[in-house]
A and B are shown apart, each in its own frame.
Chain A
Amino acid sequence: MSLIEVEDLWVRFPTRTGVFDAVRGVSFSLGRERLGIVGESGSGKSMTGRAILRLIRPPGKVEATHIAVEGDDILKMSERQMRDVRGQRISMIMQDPKFSLNPVMTVGDQIIEAYTQAHGSRANAREKTLEMLDAVAIRDAERVMRAYPHEMSGGMGQRIMIAMMMIPNPSVLIADEPTSALDVSVQTQVLRIMDRLVSERGMGLIFISHDLNLVSAFCDRVLIMYAGRVVETCRADRLHEAEHPYTRGLLNSLPRLDAPRRRLEVLKRDPAWSDPGSVRGSS
């Protein structure tokens, strides 16, 4: 059974012009794999991730035939049941940890709280927290637990977020540009940690990013989104052989260290790209 199955997902925002569709009929499924969703700003990739957790703020609306999490349709759930899904079964990591951590609580207290919420008891919470911090390669865990979020660097903050999100042992992790705010060297480290945790625990991962090379290297499968639709789906390691002109255009517009060019190719947008129905992103 797939961990997540999304069928004909639409995310709509009413505006003064009429209804703006941020996501337009996206269908895909996620198994125990890493699924990359790539696209430029405004392509609807983040909205897709948020819609799965029903995190779209009103007046935005989520519509779909179904969004099934391990077989349960979350569109039929109450807000209360939804809260159990968020965090317990699906965790989400956002771009900037500064906005996801509580600034007036120590890091340790926050992780312990997350643990208590997940397991219903405080027993072993401390040991588990230390264990988790160790798993995200935080060496002096004792000191970090006493620290406040603002004392952490970006990379450290993001690793703490990952630790927190992993504590309830979710079956799916949604990571929305988890490393875009980080320096390259830290990026590698954070990715490596995520990589290891996801494979060890057999989780499903939805990795949302604008970085084609990164997704191609990090994921198993990729959905390419444009104007709210999935225009192409392919194996991540074959991304460089992608056929859709949009994907090709994006790839060619990147400057490359190993292949210098005098001019970069400029993407010529074809209105037809936003017309046809979404490609099904099921494996």
Chain B
Amino acid sequence: MNAIGVENLNVWFGKGRDRNQAVSDVSFAVRTGESFGLVGESGSGKSTILRAITGLVPSWSGRMEIAGIALGKARSRQFYKTVQMVFQDPYASLHPRHSVDQVLGEALKLHGFRDVDQRIERLLKDVGLGPAFRFRYPHQLSGGQRQRVAIARALAPEPDILLLDEPTSALDVSVQAEILNLLTDLRAENGLTYVMVSHDLAVIGHMCERLAVMQAGRIVEEMTVEDMRALRSTEPYTKQLLESSLGYTRET
């Protein structure tokens, strides 16, 4: 069973002469419970795919399915109970005037939960924040703590699928490790399906089982993480990307 199916997806911005094709003819499928990576450089369209799935970008064509059900132009509340997203920059994804309590409380109320108080405490515990953080405002939190709140918000409706848009690229490496471990644990505990977007092949290698390499809006190659680690790639672009990711080698 596929959690996500994408076929011939095209996404563009603007109209007429200003039309900018961000994603061209992309197809991939993610199995339930799998962790799938989308890798590419900036502007390759990887984040745009996530935004198209969640309905944040209205201009797309092709076919997108969640758990076998095709997506239309609008998204239902039921959709948001199934699919949630964690954004790249935790400094931009939390409302500066809303406390942690407001952020989580609002998400829970929107999804029709009654026992909001208990659930907020549960969510905070799940993402490794104590109850002490409940009434803090974003400016009183560090980057890692903010990202934990953002993850808690995404978990609030108890989704099956989590879309992760570079969730650690704005964080220090030691904090990145904490967040990646947290995401690994959450997936194991809740049986989540992940789609993770990143420019960092090592992060994708750590988090995912399969990945697709993107360049200029197209998927160049799909491969397993084992293949990636072994540098078994047929595409020159993937090879080049892998080589530069392995680190800088000095000219002698």
Contact = CB atoms under 8 A, between A and B. Distances in A.
A249 B41 CA distance: 28
Contacts of A258: 229, 246
Given A266-B181, A267-B177, A255 B245 contact: no
A260 B241 contact: no
A210 B172 contact: yes
Given A40-B172, A253-B177, A184 B241 contact: yes
Contact residues of B: prevailing secondary structure: helix
Interface of B: 41-42, 143, 172-174, 176-178, 180-181, 184, 199-203, 205-207, 228-229, 240-242, 244-251
A264 B172 contact: no
A236 B207 CA distance: 29
Interface of A: 40-41, 154, 183-188, 191-192, 195-196, 210, 212-214, 217-218, 249-250, 253-258, 260-267
A40 B176 CA distance: 11
Given A184-B199, A188-B248, A266 B206 contact: no
Contacts of B181: 263-264, 266
Given A267-B174, A267-B177, A187 B244 contact: yes
Nearest to A246: B174
A221 B125 CA distance: 42
Nearest to B203: A255
B248 A183 contact: no
Question: 3 tightest CB-CB pairs across the interface, nearest first?
Answer: A253-B177, A255-B206, A183-B41
B139 to A, nearest CB: 14
A210 B171 CA distance: 11
9 contacts: A183-B199, A210-B172, A213-B247, A217-B250, A218-B248, A249-B174, A253-B174, A255-B200, A257-B202
A184 B203 CA distance: 14
